[in-house]
Amino acid sequence: MSKIVIYQDLGSADYKKAWEHQEKLFNSLLAGKNSSAGKAGRSGSVAGYLLFCEHPHVYTLGKSGAENNLLIDPAFLKKIGADYYRIDRGGDITYHGPGQIVGYPIFDLEQFGIGIRQYIYNIEEAIILTLSGYGIEVSRLSSASGVWLDPENSSSARKICAIGVRASRHVTMHGFAFNVNTDLSYFSHINPCGFADKGVTSMEKELGAPQDIDDVREKLKKNLEAVFGMNLSGN
């Protein structure tokens, strides 16, 4: 039986407000695991939430990240209209901004019967399937999460989707950042995901023209449903 996941499109969302919203849903799933109605595998129970949004310009640094991977000072952050947060996900530094699909799966992995490695693999697979539909060939990098073009070529490896998660008692939060029509110049101010020797890219850059982000979003939702074996309910 497909798992029921509530989908919410937050539109353009302030990073801090979206983070607080995630925390509320994350804590509600954790609390539900203590009740009989929320036990894993119970028929008809909600297995989680999937939030999609775009953020205004913001850099986020994971709990194990290095501060020096942000290459600019607070004054320059203000000049380029970007915020900066140190947060509680895994991974290093990344950028979020307009033209990027940010996805926050808040899933009870026990209900899906998978662990964190399979969870990350599934997100990568949904992105790979989505890009394949546009004729963009991508794959995984053996030493890092995310979705890449030419991953094993040191001179041309470039990331198109970053992944960073937090998990507690098999409940996840944070998620992925998928570059569709993203202004890639903002990545020049960081070592993306801690890599000084690898690049970033977007669908727009690879295909030579801006893409219909609504179309990409709908295809990605369908691929996530298929890969995770779930039904999305909501807006």
**H runs (alpha helix) in the chain:** 15-32, 74-79, 109-112, 116-132, 203-207, 213-228
Give me 118's structure tokens: 């399979």
At 102-154, the pLDDT tens digits run 999 999 999 999 999 999 999 999 999 999 999 999 999 887 889 999 988 87
pLDDT tens, residue by residue, 11-46: 999 999 999 999 999 999 999 887 644 454 454 579
pLDDT of residue 58: 95
Give the pLDDT of residue 203: 98
pLDDT at residue 194, as a whole number: 55
pLDDT in tens, 154-173: 788 899 999 999 999 999 99
Q: What would be the CATH architecture of the domain defined by 3-234?
A: 2-Layer Sandwich (3.30)
Cβ neighbours, 10 Å, residue 190 = 23
**pLDDT tens-place string over residues 45-64:** 799 999 999 999 999 988 87
Q: Among 41-55, 189-203, 221-235, name the most confident range.
A: 221-235
Q: Hey, CA dihedral for 235, 159, 83, 170, is it positive or negative?
A: positive
Contact 127, 147 (CB under 8 A): yes
Any idea which residues carry the catalytic annotation?
193
User: Which of 81-90, 110-119, 191-200 has the largest mean confidence?
Assistant: 110-119
Q: Which whole number is the average pLDDT over 88-105?
A: 91
Report domain extents, the chain. 3-234
Nearest Cα to 201, choosing from 131, 107, 143? 131
Residue 38: predicted pLDDT: 47
Coil, helix or strand at residue 88 = coil
Q: What's the half-sphere exposure (Cβ side, CA atoms, 13 Å) at 103? A: 25
202-211 pLDDT per residue, tens = 999 999 999 9
pLDDT value at residue 196: 56
Q: What percent of the chain has pLDDT over 70?
A: 92
The torsion angles phi and psi of 226, rounded to 5 degrees, stand at -70, -45
> What's the pLDDT at 195?
60
Angle at 89 between CA 84 and CA 93, to 5 degrees: 45
